[in-house]
Structure 1
Amino acid sequence: MSNKSILIVEDEKKIADIVKSYLERDGFKVAIANTGQDALQQIKNNFDLIILDLMLPDIDGEAICTAIREFSDVPIIMLTAKSSEDDRIKGLGIGADDYVIKPFSPRELVARVKAHLRRIKKYKKNVLSFNNGLLLIDTPSMGVKKGGKVISLTSTEFKILLHLAERPQIVLTRLQIVNAVQGYDFEGYDRVIDAHIKNIRHKIEDNPHKPVFIKTVYGTGYKFIGVPD
């Protein structure tokens, strides 16, 4: 992963320098933005992953995350002192892929960075088609089309959709889904997965309340009900 570039958006110099040092030790190219404005300028350089602090001096991290999602599905790991479950759900709901609470282990953060980049790389090279071509999932490009229209998903949303779509009609628990796409347990993983599924449904379903692709199996989890072509 030595050719991968990471942007750290963090106003605390000590934290930014420590994270940068650990990432560079593993061969990553690292840039630092100390303010939201600086981050929005640097993001144009097409980074492979962004580590985003939510408590910035000029623009809050949620606003930056929302702005990024308007034009990019780059993986975003939120780095913050906000530790409540509602804060995590809010962050994931606006498009973050992961959430790391301060204080944190730099080694664990680097491991999460590697995990996200590794999973993006490993997707099989094929296109999955459902409901007579209504939904297309292109794994090499991590692209999704619904009725010929490009659908913008975050990398985590794509991984969840792909994991379900590769197992049509199979009921998967929330824990199975989060372990498959993240590689470790989230605290409050049930609400985390529910938040991601809600986002996915709003993007791929004509009526999220009457889904034709992802069905809720109450008390258990979810299953993909699209018909493979």
Structure 2
Amino acid sequence: MKNIFITATDTDAGKTFITCALSKAITDHNKRVAVFKPISAGCDLVDGKLINEDAKCLSEFANMGQSIEQINPIAYKEPIAPHIAASILKQKIDLLDLTEHFEKVLANQADVTFVEGAGGWRLPLGESQGKQTFLSDFAIQQQFDVILIVNMKLGCLNHALLTYQAIVADGLNCIGWIANSAQSDAMDYLAENIAQLKQLIPAPHLATLSYYESGTFNDKVANAAQQVNLNAILTV
């Protein structure tokens, strides 16, 4: 079983879209795929349950029959930093809780489990057991392999290199990175920036994804799934 953490240089970088694309690509190889989005903020109340749209998308491309609650066990209504949302409700986000929820996902015995982070690498979770914790602490605890999504926009070189360095400094293996054009306005000198990232990041470049202007979400996911080099995933 392979457990892969999907992180990004910042929020709105396309983590959910790319996790869906990776899930489709792997299921197309007749593999069992589970997904886990431990924390979300920004949900709709549906039949008394908080439902995150990203978690719904993930559920459509995994193939283990997971419930939304298993995919996304910690959900907050307001689209704000999760630790602030938890504090407003006088709650705490505890790594032990994340581990317990993840063990239920592991019970599916999927060939590959994609774990989608929130925000960037060092997302604060608030204070737990007397110290500040981050979502990256969960990734470290689980010794995940990591795929880094680079949001291709001005400033991405700095963000990408700092994030990659933090992943490595935390003792984890970045098995690859994906250049994603998450905005409709293409980055100036996109090719030159990607070439620079290839020099700066000593990990496989898995794909360069354009902004998809037309088509359904499923069409866009299917298109992206065909663009990704899966060697680093299928061989880790």
Same fold flag (TM > 0.5): no
Q: Tell me the TM-score normalized by structure 1.
A: 0.39
Q: Tell me the TM-score normalized by structure 2.
A: 0.38
Higher RCO (CA-CA < 8 Å; seq separation 6+)? 2
